Structures are given as C-alpha cells and as structure tokens.
Structure 1
Amino acid sequence: MNAKLKSDMLEATRLTREGRLAEAMAILQGGLSGTNPSASSGSTGGDAGRQPLGRATRIIDMVPPSSGGGAWTPPNFNPSHSVPDTPGFDGASAQHQVPEALRDFLNRMGQPGSALGVDGLAGPIRARAPAPLPEGARFEERTFANPAGSRSYKLYVPSGYTGQPVPLVVMLHGCTQSPDDFAAGTRMNELAEEQTFLVAYPAQTQAANVSRCWNWFNAADQRRDRGEPSLIAGMTRQIMNDFSVAPGRVYVAGLSAGGAAAAIMGSAYPDLYAAVGVHSGLACGAARDMPSAFAAMRQGGAPYHEGDRLPVPTIVFHGDRDTTVHPVNGDQVIAQSGAGAKLRTTVSRGQAPGGIGYTRTVASDDSGQAMLEHWVLHGAGHAWSGGSPSGSYTEPRGPDASREMMRFFLEHARPAAASPA
C-alpha cells in the first residue's frame, strides 16, 4: 500500500468517527480514482469537482440520521461494528461508529485479490455469473446512444418468442445494482419465460453516478427528451423497432432510485408506457437537487404536479419499516399518479406465505378498472418483495411483487392510436 493511500485511509477513518461520512467517502473515492478531493470544497459536497457534466455522484440509497443527529449511513449500517485498534473510539455513539461496509473497505483495502469498489460503501456489488438460460432463450447485451450520452442494457428474449407481438417490461435497478443482479433478485426473467414477454434492464454507469444510482434527484433528469429519461425512452423505442412488441403493452418498473426513475418515465412518457411499477421509490419531482433528495428520502418531498392529465396506471410496493426511503413516498407516488381523479378505493389485507403481512389498496375508475394499487408491506424494509436471495436488496418473505406487477400491467394497454411511432 503506498503512502498516499495509507494516509487517505487514516483520514477517512478519522472523518467517519466524527460522523462526517460524506467527506470520508470523498477521500476514499478520490484515492481510488486518482483524483484529489481537496481540489474542491471541503464541505460535504466536496466531490463536486469530479462530477461529469455537473451530475451529482454521491450515494443516494442512504439511511438518514436519527432525530438526535449523526451521519447518513449505508443501508447495511451495523452499529455493533467499530474500527479495530482505533485509540479513543467511542463504540457507544452511532455517529462515531463506522458503517459495516466502510469498515470492511478499510480492513480489506490493499489486500491481494480485493475486488471491493467504492460502491461497496453503500452495499455489496456482486460479481455474478449469468444464470443458465432455458434452451432457445437469449439474454443479450445491447447499447443505445443519443445526444444525452450512451448506456448499455440487457434484454431478455424468452424461448417462447418467435416473432409474435409480446409485451415489453423495462426494469430499472437500484443503487449499486446491475442488470444481472436485478434480474436475479426480481426473478423477472423466469416470469418472462413463463408468460412470454420481453424484459429490458438499462444499466446506469459509474461515470454518471458513482454508485450507479439513476439520477432521479436531478432536475435535468426529470423531463421528457432530456438526460436519462431520453436514454431510457430511446432504449425502449429501439427494442420496439427491433422486435415485435404488442401495441400499447410497454411497461416500466424499478426499485429505489430505479423506482423513482420509473415514476419519472411514467410522468414524462404517458404515451409510451401503459403502466408503471414503483418499488420503494419516490414520486417524480420529489427532489430537484442533492439536499432536497436527502430530505425527500427522510420525510417525503414535494412531487411535481402537471396540469390536467389522465391518471397514470401505477402499482406501488413499499415496506413500512423502510429506513432508506420513507414509506410516505409511496403515498406520494400514488397521489401523483392519480392526478386528482375521482376513484373508488377498496382495501384488503393478507399475509404472504413467507410471513410478511400487507395492506393492499386498489383505486378503480367508474368502469371498475383498477388504476392504482398500493401495497404496504408490514415489517418489510428497503427490498424487493418476494425476490430471490440470489440478488441484492430482496425480501423473499413478502408477496411476489414481480408477479403482481405483471398481473397489473397486463390489465392495462394504451390504445393503438396513443402508442408512439
């Protein structure tokens, strides 16, 4: 380990003990990238000098401090862990304790064979071998580019696809996740194989966001035909041109930062996506910059509301013990999607075979068509309900969010005349 890297690690440890996690992460990120964090401001926004095209790059899937103060911490924060052999370390105070992932990073840094990257500060990035494919199925890696940039994506083509029109689902991963990880955790490819539909998984780049979060909190990434929404819509249209996609049967869903991005896509492109799924996410416009992002995650934001428009069919899943994105954000997604429409609501309660209870609220129009569904998962945290433990951020004990989303999606189709060319 060279002297500068060792010095950076010691300084990061000191800042973390003082509860200054963002500055500690900036030090470590600068050391890994070869940049100098001191070249920018020494405040919590000190990594701004390294942001491409003015994008914020700090980790967004973070747990807010308690009302008594302290530091923002990664979702896997474990107060029982402390930095070993650190003189004067006070293990009794949460803001003076090192988050588990950061402690692990400091302990492993410099060891031969270590593959932990800066995203490990917010949670593990799994090196995942693609799952074996059914005979005749494909999981292709593709790329789309436009003036806003370039992104890769993976597309699952089920074995049952032979050129006939089939639905398309666009799945937006959360922070630190990848298309392969998200596909494994949601089991959406298995469902596509069973029901025969296409699944696309856009991949956020580390250049655009250090933790591969979709930049849902940037005002420039919340508008039609601008920034990341233009890239995701462009991928969607590319698939529609290259494959036989059923008219009006294109859907978008996501988890956490990806859920917030899905809400943006539904708001910005109601003519492209027939329905939206938001799991543990936030409403479009709930934040406009980094400070308002943290505020929205902790206590809800002030979602963007357009003028008169039709409701966007939306299904929401949110754990009522989510300490990363406050459950009130699920309410705000539903309110925004409903667009003030007069809908009749019914409430039911149940329990998944795994033991997680839920309250399901369905809002229907005068014809009885369900326009909104809100699943509140009792006792669940920040994780995909009913997901597989082979993926990250999953809660296998909950109801099957993937299957319920597809059931809801297939109840909705845009009229052919409203589908984009």
Structure 2
Amino acid sequence: MNQAMLAGMHEATRLTRAGQLNEATAMIQRTLRGEAAADPVAQPEEHWAKAPIEGSFRVVNDGGAEPSAKTERTERRPVYPFDTRDSLLQGFELPSLRPQRRRHAPTDLIPDGGRFIDGSYGNQAGTRSYKLYIPSSYRGQALPLVLMLHGCTQDPDDFAAGTRMNHLAEAQDCLVLYPAQSPGANLQKCWNWFRNGDQQRDGGEPSLLAGMTREVITRYGLDQRRVYVAGLSSGGAMAAILGATHPDLYAAVGIHSGLAAGAAGDLPSAFAAMRQGGAGFGPADYRVPTIVFHGDSDTTVHPRNGELVIAQATAGATTGGKPRVSKHRGQVPGGHAYTRAVYVDPDGGVFMEHWLIHGAGHAWAGGSDSGSYTDPKGPDATCEMLRFFSQQVLAAAC
C-alpha cells in the first residue's frame, strides 16, 4: 500500500470514528480510484468513537498466489465501490468490538471430573484449533453439543471463564466446543462476519466451523438433533451466519450483542451495520429458532441490530402464520432491568426470544469477571440460552 492510499485509509478511519459514515465511504472510494486524500481537519470525536471497540479488522488469507500484473491493474480500477482484497486492507483499521482488559488470568475453568481438551480441525478453507469441554457424566452416550464463538481478542479459555458455560454444561450434561480464531485469518482474532467469502455454506469460516462441529459429533457419538451455536459480538454475528448457512446442523442459535446474518459484505457496510444496524439476508435464508441478548446502552454494536436479528429470524420461521408475541419486564436483584419478548408459533412452540437489557453495554450478561467482556449484573445469558436450547430439537438430523 503506497503512502497516498495509506493516508486515505487513515482518513476514512477518522471519519468513521466521528460518525461520518457517508464521508468515510466516499473517502474509501476516492482512495481506491487513486485520488489523493484531502488534508484531514481535526474534529471532536462523538459518543460512538469513545466506545470500547475490538481492535482492528485486518483480513489475511490463509494462503494464495501473488497477483499478476494484470490483476494489479484491475485492482487499481475496481468495478465495485469497495474491493475487499487483502492488499487493500493491510493497515486499515475497522472499528470493532474490543472487550475490556481481563482482570486476571482465567481460573476455575474445569469443574470437578470434567475434561477440557485441545484439538484442531482443517479443510480447504484452513485450519482452526479448538478446546472441547467434556462433562464428567459422559460415558459415550448421545449428549447435546454447544458451539461457542468468542469475540475479538478473546480465546477459548477467556470465553469459557467469562460465560461460565463449562460449569452449566457439567450440570446439564452437554459438551461444549470452543473454536479459536487464528491471528493469521484476523489479527485481532475476530470472526470475519463482514466478508462475503465467510458467509457461504461450502466455503470460508462457516465450512470450517460446521466441519469441526460434525467431526466432534461423529467422534463422540453425540445427539445430531441437539446441536446448538452461540456467540458474542463478532462471534454472535458468525453464529447468525451459521444459522443461515447450516439450518440442517444447528437446532437453535444464541446471539449476544451481535448482528444479523449477512449484515455486511465489506468494510463500509460493516461500519454502517455496527453503528446503525444491518438487515442482512432475506427471510427465506434464516429459519432457525433464535435467542438474542443485547444491551440498550451498547455503543459498539447498535441495539437495533438485535431487533434486526429477530426480524430476520421471525420472518424466516413463520411462513405458516403470524407469531404471537408476549413481553415481560424483569429486574435482576442489584442488577439490570430487562424486557423479554417471547415469540410463539401457530403450533404453540416458543421459537424466538429477545432480551433487551436496560443500561447494559457491550458485554456478556451475567458473566464472570474472571473473563473479559462480561457484565455480572445479569440477567444470566448462559443459563437462559441453555434453557432455550433445551426446548429446541432439530426435525431431521444432518
């Protein structure tokens, strides 16, 4: 990337942080056309710019050939408003979803008798390591499986500590699979929810995560009808994508502070979706029961994104009739108030829940402070997700 392009990308970053999304997009387009960036004029940062954000998205391919001279000439005059090829993204900072610094190293990860083991899985899209929690009750029986997708800068140990999922899995007899994003795929270890290539069933990160899930199901003889996926922030956005790409594998989805499947396809649309909301794929592409948690004071991923996840999932899952919706207000003693919306299908089954947590920011509700990115003031998202998952069974095994 030459100095002119680097300057243009930095200016686009500044404009985005200031909330000037249209100007940022225009700057990106001018930069990619080879037009010089104007000297930036210092402006005060707005409220959104002060939010904790998850580092910088830096997209890096697992491999690939060097571009030819012909390809390079084509890239200097892109057909589309924004080209997401890696050579154009190096060093460009995308506001993301950074957790607060962890107070101390994760502890108490493994309940008595349980096992927390390492593994890895690879296919044509690359390789990812993972950790797998196996409860003490496992003796080869067909137990459920929960896939847990961490947020940016996190890792399986951190996410397990913050959500306390291993402890609840021990009590409720299920296995928990924690994939680890590779810094080679994203320097801040964010799942690449904003890339078109990572929103496809048979390619990119969805194929890796689904393949890893299937391998664990087969190896341990788990119940193929009770497989679930949940995630936080960028992990929540990727969980939504898996619900869209693999409805035959995951019986339900849990999305905490995330975005709808397909909410963005490149960096400018990712900027806009995080700050204003992104509608995502059409309703025919999403038919999986879903539970959503989002803080109404989240200044990193706008709370409207939670509403858009529900709108997407509701439209896709209720083609046979309009759902019945009931709302309930609650209060965690000494913690947050919340509004819980429950969606019931024409057959009387609960297929959607939306928890709007009043006064909460961008953090896992009810989590432990032994992990990053948590809000112990509740409600308990881990417990409620497992309750919701227990009510959902896949109609036919994959």
With normalisation by structure 1, the TM-score equals 0.72
- Tell me the residue number matched to 2:291: 315
- Tell me the residue number matched to 1:156: 133
Cα shift readout 1:323-361 (whole Å, capped 9, x = no counterpart): 000001001111111125221101110011232000000
Unaligned runs of 5+ residues in structure 2 are 25-41, 54-92
CA distance, structure 2, for counterparts of residue 68 and residue 224 of structure 1:
30
**1:138, 1:158 within 8 Å by CA — same for their partners in 2?**
yes
CA distance, structure 1, for counterparts of residue 97 and residue 306 of structure 2:
26
**2:366, 2:376 within 8 Å by CA — same for their partners in 1?**
yes
- Tell me the residue number matched to 1:217: 194
Secondary structure of the equivalent of 2:240? helix
**2:258, 2:306 within 8 Å by CA — same for their partners in 1?**
yes
CA distance, structure 2, for counterparts of residue 274 and residue 68 of structure 1:
37
Give 1:313's aligned amino acid: P
Identity %: 55
Give 1:243's aligned amino acid: Y
Q: 2:303 aligns with which of 311, 323, 327?
A: 327
Is residue 42 from structure 1 mapped to residue 6 from structure 2 by the alignment? yes
Map of 1:403-418 to 2, 5 A cutoff?
Answer: 403-415=383-395, 418=396
Q: 1:365 aligns with which of 345, 349, 355?
A: 345
**2:18, 2:45 within 8 Å by CA — same for their partners in 1?**
no
Q: 2:213 aligns with which of 236, 243, 254?
A: 236
CA distance, structure 2, for counterparts of residue 70 and residue 287 of structure 1:
18
Relative to structure 1, is the Cα distance of residues 310 and 343 closer, same or farther in structure 2, using a 3 angstrom cutoff?
Answer: farther
- Tell me the residue number matched to 1:276: 253
**1:123, 1:176 within 8 Å by CA — same for their partners in 2?**
yes
**2:130, 2:156 within 8 Å by CA — same for their partners in 1?**
yes
Give 2:391's aligned amino acid: E
Deviation at 1:311, TM superposition (A): 3.1
Relative to structure 1, is the Cα distance of residues 151 and 165 closer, same or farther in structure 2, using a 3 angstrom cutoff?
Answer: same
Is residue 289 from structure 1 mapped to residue 242 from structure 2 by the alignment? no
Secondary structure of the equivalent of 1:191? helix
CA distance, structure 1, for counterparts of residue 23 and residue 336 of structure 2:
31
Relative to structure 1, is the Cα distance of residues 295 and 194 closer, same or farther in structure 2, using a 3 angstrom cutoff?
Answer: same
CA distance, structure 2, for counterparts of residue 405 and residue 372 of structure 1:
11
Deviation at 1:213, TM superposition (A): 0.5
Relative to structure 1, is the Cα distance of residues 380 and 265 closer, same or farther in structure 2, using a 3 angstrom cutoff?
Answer: same
- Tell me the residue number matched to 1:52: none
**1:351, 1:357 within 8 Å by CA — same for their partners in 2?**
yes
Map of 1:72-91 to 2, 5 A cutoff?
Answer: none
Map of 1:53-202 to 2, 5 A cutoff?
Answer: 64-66=17-19, 93-94=44-45, 122-123=98-99, 126=102, 128=105, 131=108, 133-202=110-179
- Tell me the residue number matched to 2:371: 391
CA distance, structure 2, for counterparts of residue 156 and residue 246 of structure 1:
16
Give 1:419's aligned amino acid: A
Deviation at 1:300, TM superposition (A): 0.7
Larger relative CO (CA 8 A, sep 6+): 1 or 2? 2
**1:140, 1:155 within 8 Å by CA — same for their partners in 2?**
yes
CA distance, structure 2, for counterparts of residue 405 and residue 123 of structure 1:
21
Deviation at 1:131, TM superposition (A): 3.1
**2:149, 2:235 within 8 Å by CA — same for their partners in 1?**
yes
Give 2:105's aligned amino acid: R
Q: 2:313 aligns with which of 315, 337, 344?
A: 337
RMSD of equivalent CA atoms: 3.0
Secondary structure of the equivalent of 1:41? helix
Give 2:295's aligned amino acid: G
Is residue 419 from structure 1 mapped to residue 397 from structure 2 by the alignment? yes
Relative to structure 1, is the Cα distance of residues 344 and 166 closer, same or farther in structure 2, using a 3 angstrom cutoff?
Answer: same
Deviation at 1:128, TM superposition (A): 3.1
**2:339, 2:355 within 8 Å by CA — same for their partners in 1?**
yes
Deviation at 1:65, TM superposition (A): 3.2
Q: Kindly report structure 1 stretches of 4+ aligned residues shifted beyond 6 Å.
A: 67-71, 98-102, 118-121
Relative to structure 1, is the Cα distance of residues 101 and 172 closer, same or farther in structure 2, using a 3 angstrom cutoff?
Answer: closer
**2:21, 2:271 within 8 Å by CA — same for their partners in 1?**
no
With normalisation by structure 2, the TM-score equals 0.76
Relative to structure 1, is the Cα distance of residues 398 and 265 closer, same or farther in structure 2, using a 3 angstrom cutoff?
Answer: same
**Greater Cα shift, 370-379 or 337-346:** 337-346
CA distance, structure 2, for counterparts of residue 377 and residue 396 of structure 1:
12
CA distance, structure 2, for counterparts of residue 121 and residue 273 of structure 1:
25
Relative to structure 1, is the Cα distance of residues 366 and 210 closer, same or farther in structure 2, using a 3 angstrom cutoff?
Answer: same
**1:64, 1:323 within 8 Å by CA — same for their partners in 2?**
no
Give 1:232's aligned amino acid: L
